[in-house]
Structure 1
């Protein structure tokens, strides 16, 4: 019995740690002087900081370049919606997103609407819902906005605007004062091939419906 009494007496004489909130509730703010309030706030802050340090010490060190595993099937699934998309950039002129959307919807989105996303470096990503609209924009144009050429290329995976350099572009070639007998698809195609990779011939020009230029 004496051992029990000794333990009880020892326990009862140890001071209990009272938090800042307990003191405010028990004693009331009016009974604490400013020095006591500052001291209690400091103790409370240090206690929380020590607890936070212990939690952080159990975590793995920060890795600024973590490896994220992605399966080929997952990546193919994420790429599928962009297979029918074009990367567009106005050359020599800055165009805002709203102006580009209006221009595209008026000239390229003939059958269905498109989705346009602005990227860094003045690039735009245009995703088509209709295959015919996609082919029209890629092969027929128009490829000029506000008097400036548009750089057009198919979307490709891992496209990085800041690392892209203009190496080739699709343009309309105008040939003024062409003799009438040369307004035919065969000759115009030969002219185009001497200048670069031929994409399209204006059908109105090749059938001589328009004779101002080829």
Structure 2
């Protein structure tokens, strides 16, 4: 059974853990804080149209397999349910589901309740009650939970988690030999923006306790090369800043997904076994310590 919950605001909030979507009958609004609402009231099933077995579509056959065309009204009800929907993705590393629920309610503070349905491969279906709440979540990000960035995309018809490819990962980058006047948190995050989406700066760097290099956690797209240098400009001068990647997750350039390397790719092995040419681009598989190679001359100017 899917772990699904609906979240409201303040005293009007209602959590329905472990209830399938069809069992959520209505939004519970608590007008009296001392009033008790039974579990049966929370999950009472809504009135559903009576569906006769004889009215269900007759299956056809194609290539020896049964085929079914969904009833038009049933499909339209499904589209209506998804009208104000987004697709999110979180690895849920370093944060529990309960912690995420609490932070979602606090950060978003929407006008009406909404439903989050966990899907496969870390994806989430986010269903909102109105366009205003939908736009607020979509446009006012990024939203961070723990050390993770909630990756959002607009819901589309026929979205299936099993067909999606994960190409983003969190990596720590080091900025060695960085001028001390550039160690301000906003300045460090700005430099990190040149690599990907900066998530945080470690406390050691913020407090300037260790001056050999600054550490920044960045969300990067591994289908694109990570730059080994960034041209940084200030009001007085500009300079080339080296970028060192300390550790990176395995990424397969054949499958275009995070989780395994090309040498571990079962799909690639199957292609080679069949005598076909593999589809592998020239994107470096392991960019660790890339900044230590091919270092350009620093072009700092005062």
- The answer to whether TM tops 0.5 is no
Whichever structure has more strand as a proportion of its residues is 2
TM-score of the pair, normalised by structure 1: 0.44
The structure that has the greater radius of gyration is: 1
Whichever structure has more helix as a proportion of its residues is 1
